[in-house]
Chains A and B, each alone.
Chain A
Amino acid sequence: MTDSQEYYAGVDIGSAFIKAVLINQKQIMAYKILSSGGNYKETARRVLDQALSKGRVSFDMLSGIVVTGIGAESAPFQARQFSDISCQASGCKSLFPSARIVIDIGGQFTRAIKLTPQGRVADFLMSEKCATGSGRFLQVIARILRIKIEDIGSLSLKSQRPVEFSTNCAVFAESETISRIAEGARMEDILAGVHRALAAKVAMLVKRLKMEQDVVLTGGGGEDAGLVSAVSEALGVNVLVPEYPRLTAALGAARLAKEEKPGTR
């Protein structure tokens, strides 16, 4: 490390998790994820501190910090704010330069972002009105089936005959799940059915933006292999998934801290 080294941090304050990514001019140095809890300010401070200490960088050495996410307003330190759309786009673009569509499947809503070939945000759509379009649908069904969220993906992939739900409503699907189980349906087939229904909603968003390759799937949904496979199937392409799908917005925030110097916008 030389004295000319510059460091930037991105902090994504989400409703479920707070994430921080630390970068220098060339690469990712450290990251940290903590569950948000009731106090965004305190958790955000802890997440950033832990990422910094992993990277052996002190707060004073940072040349820039960007915060994003639903709780960006409650950042406990001086930082610039960028929208999650800009951060998500920047983070995914840096990992996958060929990305033209970014799908972010979170716990509360799903976003689809369209990028220009140069990687700028061209358009975006959000599905926030209905639980079927978000990770919440999976949580509802997983609770009924008494399985952990992290086990959903691998179970769903075992399905031979995915259940076809007669409804597109998470509440009605919940009762349908109960009667399907009573009829002897297998758990993996139910989960694969949920994945398909969710993927169909996601595909509708992407279609409205006009599909373009490559497609990146990020957010918590990117960690669910069954969902990744269902979305790939619904779109008819293999979607790309970052190694740490939860971190892309924080990564983008750090990159924006580096690229968009204060005064330039």
Chain B
Amino acid sequence: MPFAGIDIGSTMTKAVIVDGYGTDVASVIGPTGAEHRHLALAVMDETIKKAGLSFEQLDFIVATGYGRINVPFADKQITEITCHSRSIRALFPTVRIIIDIGGQDSKGIKLDTDGKVMNFIMNDKCAAGTGRFLEVIAETLGVKLTEMGKLSLKAKDYVRISNTCTVFAEHEVTSRLTEGATIPEIVAGLHEAFAGRVVNMVRSLGIEKDVVVTGGGAMNIGLIKALQEKLGFAVLVPPKPLLTGALGAAFLGKDFVARGVTSERERRFEGVTFFK
């Protein structure tokens, strides 16, 4: 009994297929382009192939992420808040706060002791505090986004970045460089500023242990370190931080089927022309 979850984020599209035991059997991550529908199908197709399955064999497909409405082949669309909390509940039952740092937004989700969503907060209004902040400045510094974490660990001290706005911080970083600051010190300063913003946002939910960090931000070791410093304790990171949304979506599909909800895909597909 395979179930699929697909998470169309602002930057990346992720798909996961799990079996009847909830074990992840295949996953694919691809960049989100302008054509969501096209891409959703391509990523799903690839995941199905990787799992050695066919489209018809999938018992249920759940779509999530900000592009979830553009997944015509999904049985249900569910918000990423629900999906993240579903998979985190399964992976880390002790978690009370999820910090999800995406390419163009960041979220804080508070769970009760049973793992149900109590409250959440989100920033998608301002690039500061989202992955975009680091992406823009990585380009200014001529550093790869994926290398920023390791780079910052080389710094003995960090350069304080006083501007919140990404546009102004970009300028500030160039001035610090000309003043002789090293790139690792600057990158460490960026992580410090970033972590400060994210923790401030989440603080309004009331921080309780354990805290898990997901999304692309969780793959940045320097950012994780900075977040831990701000919080004052260690955080959890899932083995595949980009996939928690898609994984939760797949789990929710499994839950639906367990409750007797069945896929209506075949019926809905009659008379629908797919674009591929």
Residues of A within 8 A of B (CB): 108, 129-131, 136-137, 140, 167-172, 179, 182
Contact = CB atoms under 8 A, between A and B. Distances in A.
Given A170-B167, A172-B104, A130 B126 contact: yes
A184 to B, nearest CB: 13
A136 B169 CA distance: 12
Contacts of B133: 171
Contact of A130 (B104, B132, B164): B164
Given A129-B164, A130-B126, A131-B167, A171 B34 contact: no
B202 interface: no
Given A108-B168, A172-B132, 17 more contacts: A129-B164, A130-B164, A131-B166, A131-B167, A131-B168, A136-B167, A167-B125, A168-B125, A168-B126, A169-B126, A169-B166, A170-B167, A171-B127, A171-B133, A171-B136, A171-B166, A179-B34
Contacts of B118: none
Contacts of A171: 127, 132-133, 136, 166-167
B125 A131 contact: no
A149 to B, nearest CB: 15
Interface in B92-135: 104, 125-127, 132-133
B34 A129 contact: no
B247 to A, nearest CB: 28
A130 B125 contact: no
Q: How big is the B interface, by class?
A: 10 to 19
Interface of B: 34, 104, 125-127, 132-133, 136, 164-168
A172 B127 contact: yes
24 contacts: A108-B168, A129-B164, A129-B165, A130-B126, A130-B165, A131-B166, A131-B168, A136-B168, A140-B167, A167-B125, A168-B125, A168-B126, A169-B127, A169-B166, A170-B127, A170-B165, A170-B166, A171-B127, A171-B132, A171-B133, A171-B166, A172-B104, A172-B127, A179-B34
Contacts of A136: 167-168
Contacts of A182: 34
Nearest to A133: B165
A126 to B, nearest CB: 13
A17 B133 CA distance: 29
A175 to B, nearest CB: 8
A170 B104 CA distance: 13
Contacts of A167: 125
B125 A169 contact: yes
Contacts of A172: 104, 127, 132
Nearest to B133: A171
Contacts of A170: 127, 165-167
B103 to A, nearest CB: 10
A129 B126 CA distance: 11
A172 B168 CA distance: 14
A129 B104 CA distance: 19
A135 to B, nearest CB: 11
B104 to A, nearest CB: 7
Nearest to A179: B34
Contacts of B167: 131, 136-137, 140, 170-171
B27 to A, nearest CB: 27
What are the nearest 8 A-B pairs in CB distance? Answer: A131-B167, A171-B127, A171-B166, A169-B126, A130-B165, A131-B165, A169-B127, A170-B167
A170 B164 CA distance: 13
B115 to A, nearest CB: 32
Contacts of A131: 165-168
Contacts of B126: 130, 168-169
A136 B125 CA distance: 18
